[in-house]
Amino acid sequence: MAQTMIDKNRVLIFDTTLRDGEQSPGATMTHDEKLEIADLLDEMGVDIIEAGFPIASEGDFEAVSDIAKRAKFSTICGLARAKLPDIDRCWEAVQHAKSPRIHTFIGTSPLHRAIPNLTMDEMADVIHETVSHARNLCDNVQWSPMDATRTEHDYLCRVVEIAIKAGATTINIPDTVGYTAPTESADLIRMLLERVPGADEIIFATHCHNDLGMATANALAAVDAGARQIECTINGLGERAGNTALEEVVMAMKVRQDIMPYQTHIDTTKIMNISRRVAQVSGFPVQFNKAIVGKNAFLHESGIHQDGVLKNVETFEIMKPADIGLNEANIAMGKHSGRAALRAKLKDLGYELGDNQLKDVFVRFKALADRKKEIYDEDLIALMTDSAANTADDYLQVKWLRVVCGSDGQEAELKMLVDGEEKSSKCQGDGPVDAVFNCVKEIYPTQAKLKLYQVHAVTEGTDAQATVSVRLEEDGRIGTGAASDTDTILASVKAYVGALNRLRFRSQKTAPDADVKTVSYKL
Ligand code: KIV
Ligand code: ZN
């Protein structure tokens, strides 16, 4: 067996934020962002990182191969359809890793078999050929029967057996459309372990989607039945309702060791930091009441709860904020705080800055402190998001803005840099945001359609910063932008311009999002 034998209660964590997560329309990450997230996953102890889909685009290939070269602990995996050129390209990208893996898949349910129009026997041959080919290249091969939970059981057993005989070392059982339920998820793994010859020689993985809100429960039920790899994403990022959330399964197993006595290698104190970074770079904010990493997950608003927590923290808290790396003492900073204090505070929040970066962030911090008396952790996180999303190297940059608004109408005047050249515009609109966006469109004509415009207050009070998220779509490509400021209109225009910069970058680097999706679901 190619895989090292592991403790029977050890559950491998397979993170697919950079593949299934990034595949979600709009969750685009730049090359550098992907490397940064991969580094964080590696440092937190993720066993396997699915770094991308190498044949999907040049950008995906480069990201997988660069991540493979730098990973220290994690196995690096790439996805490939059941096609020999896909598998070769995948191997080309992952081969540099200390521990590489090829993950190949094909849709085995009746609906998916109908797409390439293959009979059951023909598909079985394709599986044998492609898994054998992958195994000839790499000792560590994962195979997935896509839509396994809607595949006939006899056929599923047959193809899993073929894949094992052809050399697969991990068999992943995807609930591609989030259709299964906990008892069924467990029964399926149990059935495969009982019926398939050689099943005890390989590792079964569970890969759940959250369409019915059961992804975490389904994954844990599969583990209870014998699966020893959970496929998941940070914040549950992923298409539609997303994938199983890494932080949920890992913390559930940690908190409920009494009924789930399984171990992972995850350093849970790194969860909060990576959750924030993924939210920032993907442009998908975490909902406030999200389990584990939501802003309210450890908040106790009601009097009864607060009283109980003060007397004995265990009355209403089943885990400690520090377990996920959440800093409890949210002590405000202000305009008298110095550079060293800022560096220390940011380090606490998970941001390690070099001297130059600190210099830039300190200038922004001082400007914010001039407008806002008390600066909380959330303000600093918003400031860091803003600094990462809108930089001095951007093709389009907002330089100056004036807006006049009131009951007589709205007018905006905007100055921007376009590739270093200053341009200005004056426009009216239906409200101040519309007027400013019209200015941008006059300066930089675009066909991009606004798909999302969202504002949320970072903290309480009328001097609170607003974080604005914008999602644009053009020619099947999605670009997202985010910006924070105490001035909501300024944050809006910066987020809009940020999204245009991302769209521009994407149109130079990648195939349209729609194509990537088709590639992943066609034989
Ligand atoms: O959901 C799914 O079926 C997948 C496969 C490609 C494993 O993501
Ligand atoms: Zn999936």
pLDDT tens profile 417-462: 999 999 999 999 999 999 999 999 999 999 999 988 988 888 777 8
Q: What's the whole-number mean pLDDT along residues 310-321? A: 79
pLDDT of residue 476: 80
Question: Alpha helix locations (H) across 52-119?
Answer: 58-70, 84-94, 110-114
pLDDT of residue 1: 41
150 to 112, 120, 211, 249: CA distances (angstroms): 10, 15, 15, 24
- Contact between residue 476 and residue 514 where contact means Cβ atoms under 8 Å apart: yes
Residue nearest to atom 1 of ligand 1 (CA): 176
Reply yes or no on whether the pLDDT at 212 is more than 70: yes
Sign for the pseudo-dihedral over CA of 336, 339, 345, 346: positive
Nearest to 32 by CA among 388, 448, 392, 355: 388
Element (H, E) at 280: helix 271-282
Residue nearest to atom 8 of ligand 1 (CA): 20
pLDDT of residue 393: 82
Site of tokens 């239906």: 430
466 to 391, 418, 454: CA distances (angstroms): 19, 25, 10
pLDDT of residue 27: 78
Query: DSSP 3-state assignment of 294?
Result: coil
Of residues 155 and 346, the one with the higher pLDDT is: 155
Task: Please name every residue paired with 427 in a beta bridge, in sequence order, or none if there are none.
Answer: 412
pLDDT of residue 509: 61
pLDDT of residue 3: 47
Element (H, E) at 356: helix 355-371
Nearest to 115 by CA among 157, 146, 78: 146
- For residue 167 and ligand 1, the question of a CB distance below 6 A is answered with no
Q: Which of 348-352, 378-382, 484-488 has the highest mean pLDDT?
A: 484-488
pLDDT of residue 517: 37
- For residue 144 and ligand 1, the question of a CB distance below 6 A is answered with yes
CB atoms within 10 A of CB 487: 14
pLDDT of residue 84: 97
Q: Which ligand 1 atom minimizes the distance to the CA of 79?
A: 6
Instruction: Identify the band that residue 465 occupies on the pLDDT scale cut at 50, 70 and 90.
Output: confident
- For residue 143 and ligand 1, the question of a CB distance below 6 A is answered with no
Instruction: List the single range of 2-11, 53-62, 514-523 with lowest mean pLDDT.
Output: 514-523
* List of residues 6+ apart from 251 with CB closer than 8 A: 268, 271, 292, 319, 323, 324
- Contact between residue 243 and residue 21 where contact means Cβ atoms under 8 Å apart: yes
CA 176 – ligand 1 centroid, Å: 6
Reply yes or no on whether the pLDDT at 300 is more than 70: no
Instruction: Identify the band that residue 67 occupies on the pLDDT scale cut at 50, 70 and 90.
Output: very high
What proportion of the chain, given as a percentage, has pLDDT over 90?
A: 64
Q: Which ligand 1 atom minimizes the distance to the CA of 107?
A: 3
- Contact between residue 458 and residue 371 where contact means Cβ atoms under 8 Å apart: no
CA 375 – ligand 2 centroid, Å: 40
Residue nearest to atom 2 of ligand 1 (CA): 176
| pTM of model > 0.95 | no
Describe the strand order of the beta sheet including 410-418 as a list of residue ranges: 396-404, 410-418, 421-429
Pocket test for ligand 1, best of 170, 176, 516 (most atoms within 8 A of CB): 176
The C-alpha atoms of residue 369 and residue 346 are separated, in whole angstroms, by 15
Pocket test for ligand 1, best of 102, 108, 146, 175 (most atoms within 8 A of CB): 146
Q: What's the whole-number mean pLDDT along residues 462-486? A: 86
CB atoms within 10 A of CB 145: 25
Reply yes or no on whether the pLDDT at 60 is more than 90: yes
- For residue 207 and ligand 1, the question of a CB distance below 6 A is answered with yes
Q: What's the whole-number mean pLDDT along residues 119-146? A: 98
Q: What's the whole-number mean pLDDT along residues 49-70? A: 96
Helices H, strands E: what count in the chain?
Answer: 17, 14
Element (H, E) at 411: strand 410-418
User: Whole-number mean pLDDT of the chain?
Assistant: 90
The C-alpha atoms of residue 146 and residue 79 are separated, in whole angstroms, by 12
Helix (H), strand (E), coil (C) string for 180-210:
CCHHHHHHHHHHHHHHCCCHHHCEEEEEEEC
Instruction: List the single range of 2-6, 21-25, 97-101, 154-158 with lowest mean pLDDT.
Output: 2-6
- Contact between residue 472 and residue 451 where contact means Cβ atoms under 8 Å apart: yes
Q: What's the whole-number mean pLDDT along residues 57-86? A: 97
Each residue's pLDDT tens digit, 95-110: 999 999 999 999 999 9
Phi, psi of 288 (to 5 degrees): -60, -40
What dihedral do alpha carbons 281, 466, 483, 435 form, nearest 10°? 140
CA 279 – ligand 2 centroid, Å: 19
Instruction: Identify the band that residue 55 occupies on the pLDDT scale cut at 50, 70 and 90.
Output: very high
Pocket test for ligand 1, best of 105, 115, 179 (most atoms within 8 A of CB): 105
| One-letter identity of residue 262 | Y
CA 104 – ligand 1 centroid, Å: 10
Site of tokens 């467990």: 186
Q: Which ligand 1 atom minimizes the distance to the CA of 105?
A: 6
Instruction: Identify the band that residue 406 occupies on the pLDDT scale cut at 50, 70 and 90.
Output: confident
pLDDT of residue 480: 82
Pocket test for ligand 1, best of 20, 102, 517 (most atoms within 8 A of CB): 20
- Contact between residue 171 and residue 146 where contact means Cβ atoms under 8 Å apart: no
pLDDT of residue 328: 64
Q: What's the whole-number mean pLDDT along residues 11-21? A: 98
Q: What's the whole-number mean pLDDT along residues 6-19? A: 93
- Ligand nearest to the Cα of 174, by number: 1
Q: Which ligand 1 atom minimizes the distance to the CA of 144?
A: 7
What proportion of the chain, given as a percentage, has pLDDT over 70?
A: 93
Q: What's the whole-number mean pLDDT along residues 18-22? A: 96
Site of tokens 């806002």: 372
- Ligand nearest to the Cα of 205, by number: 1
Q: What b/e string do you get for 162-187 counting C-beta neighbours within 10 Å, with b at 16 or more?
A: bbbebbbbbbbbbbbbbbbebeebbb
Reply yes or no on whether the pLDDT at 250 is more than 60: yes
CA-based diameter of the chain, in Å?
77
Q: What's the whole-number mean pLDDT along residues 243-250? A: 98
The C-alpha atoms of residue 39 and residue 437 are separated, in whole angstroms, by 36
Instruction: List the single range of 166-180, 182-196, 302-316, 456-470 with lowest mean pLDDT.
Output: 302-316
- Contact between residue 315 and residue 308 where contact means Cβ atoms under 8 Å apart: yes
- Ligand nearest to the Cα of 242, by number: 2
Nearest to 159 by CA among 79, 104, 101: 104
